Copies of this chain bind each other. A is one copy, B any other.
Amino acid sequence: MRIVDLIRRKRDGHELTREEIQFIVRGYTEAQFPDYQMSAWLMAVLLRGMSSQEIATLTEAMLHSGVTLDWSDLPGKKVDKHSTGGVGDKTSLILAPIVAAGGLLVPMISGRGLGHTGGTLDKLEAIPGFNVNLAPDRMREVLAKCGMVLVGQTEKIVPADKKMYALRDVTGTVESPALICASIMSKKIAEGIDALVLDVKTGSGAFMKKEADAVHLAKLMVETGVRIGKRIVALITDMDQPLGLYVGNALEVIECVDVLKGGGPTDLRDLSIELAAWMFYLGEKTASVELGRRLATRMIANGSAFEKFCEVTRLQGGDPESLRDVSKLPQARNRREVRSPHLGYVQAINSEQVGIASLVLGGGREKKEDTVDHAVGIVLHKKVGDAVAQNEPICTLHYNSDARLREAESLIASSYQISAQQTAANPKLIRHVIEGSFTPAVHAY
């Protein structure tokens, strides 16, 4: 088998066999052929696409490029959730404690923020002392003790993805649904889970701006999961405005605590409960999604979800007191309000711009090497559908440095579209659910 022939076959639109895809992934991971052949193949994949069989095979080949986790000695189903990323998307910190409190195991491996979207690891690190880099034995201990663990990616899990993603990033081959699907699914399946809930975001703050693209990716991921033998569902959810009201690392932890204590904004609470409900159902803890919703709601109401969050924080070296008294979390020195230029209704909020504003204040990363200021961020006072008076505050910026304040202010001001026309509040949060039967079926929600 020669790599140049496999490049040609994909270039000409042929379906590659299992052996051919394994040859490519193994050969590239082991540096048996150079980057310039892999990038040509990746571009051919991007432009020619892959069948769902090819994607499943690619996912498995990538999965087996490194170690996979095995929790089969721990009793109970292992479940996880993956989000394609958004602004203010902090549901992991809420649903993992809910689901662990409800009796399932959540061995969650998350990423860091890059660009306008935040990352779960950065949010966790806003909690003083919280350690996301656990040795494998300690990860097992924490999971066994409290039913959940929240850690970062290691070099040993799916090394093929690490090498392929670095190449895709500089060769214009990131935006391939087939490659995105295999990248996400290989890493999630390597966690050793039985079931997976996908939160595929669409809208102005999402990677997929168009709903059709989000649905397409979701179908690919669900079909891949089914082919590999996992219980799986994808929820297509709204990212046309930030989720919740708080954007920024410590600020988002505060909002998660609010929800876990029974408060918080409706959209964030509803989505967290919905995702947790699907995890309960797919993890066979409840006989239906509706029973899952009830269980999730109860885990919040009786305080056990919040206690679970405090417990995992303690087990991972963090200070649970900063959750019981959130004034102990990092706080920015300064506040600046952004006010509405005129009376009207909020028509739309460009979430990507809000995310960039937070990044500009220091809360995110432009490059992987950048350090993050956990204290800074943005608190939204108005969301789509809300009425606003002239000069009324629409947001408050939490900042430490004046350096790029002006830029953040201007991004926030222009991200709000305010006009006289009355609009519906609470735009539909969950747009579609794609359940894992062999051929994914899309149904309205």
Contact = CB atoms under 8 A, between A and B. Distances in A.
Interface of A: 4-5, 7-8, 11, 34-40, 42-44, 46-48, 167, 170-173
Contact of A37 (B8, B37, B48, B170): B170
The 10 A-B residue pairs whose C-beta atoms are closest, nearest first, are A7-B172, A35-B36, A40-B171, A43-B43, A8-B172, A39-B40, A36-B39, A36-B36, A47-B47, A40-B43
A426 B288 CA distance: 78
A34 B173 CA distance: 15
B35 A172 contact: no
Contacts of A7: 43, 171-172
A43 B40 CA distance: 6
A11 B173 CA distance: 9
A48 B11 CA distance: 11
A61 to B, nearest CB: 20
A36 B48 CA distance: 19
B4 A40 contact: no
Nearest to A13: B47
Given A11-B47, A43-B44, A48-B47, A4 B171 contact: yes
Interface centre among A37, A44, A172, A173 (most CB of B within 10 A): A172
B39 A37 contact: yes
A180 to B, nearest CB: 15
Most chain B CB atoms below 10 A, which of A8, A35, A40, A167:
A40
Nearest to A3: B170
Nearest to A171: B40
Contacts of A37: 39, 170-171
A172 B47 contact: no
Contacts of A43: 7, 11, 39-40, 43-44, 47
Contacts of A47: 11, 43-44, 47-48
A168 to B, nearest CB: 9
- Residue among A8, A38, A170 with most chain B CB within 10 A: A170
A244 to B, nearest CB: 33
Contacts of A38: 36
Contacts of A173: 11, 40
Contacts of A35: 34-36
Contacts of A167: 36
A47 B45 CA distance: 11
A44 B171 CA distance: 10
A4 B44 contact: no
13 contacts: A7-B43, A11-B43, A11-B173, A35-B36, A36-B38, A36-B39, A36-B171, A37-B39, A37-B171, A39-B39, A40-B43, A40-B171, A43-B44
A5 B43 CA distance: 14
Contacts of A48: 47
Given A4-B170, A43-B43, 12 more contacts: A4-B172, A5-B172, A8-B172, A35-B36, A36-B36, A36-B38, A36-B171, A37-B170, A39-B43, A40-B40, A40-B171, A44-B172
A161 B442 CA distance: 50
A166 to B, nearest CB: 10
Nearest to A35: B36
Contacts of A4: 170-172
Nearest to A7: B172
Contact of A40 (B5, B8, B11, B172): B172
A35 B7 CA distance: 16
Contacts of A8: 172
Given A4-B171, A170-B4, A172-B7, A42 B44 contact: no
A7 B5 CA distance: 23
A366 to B, nearest CB: 15
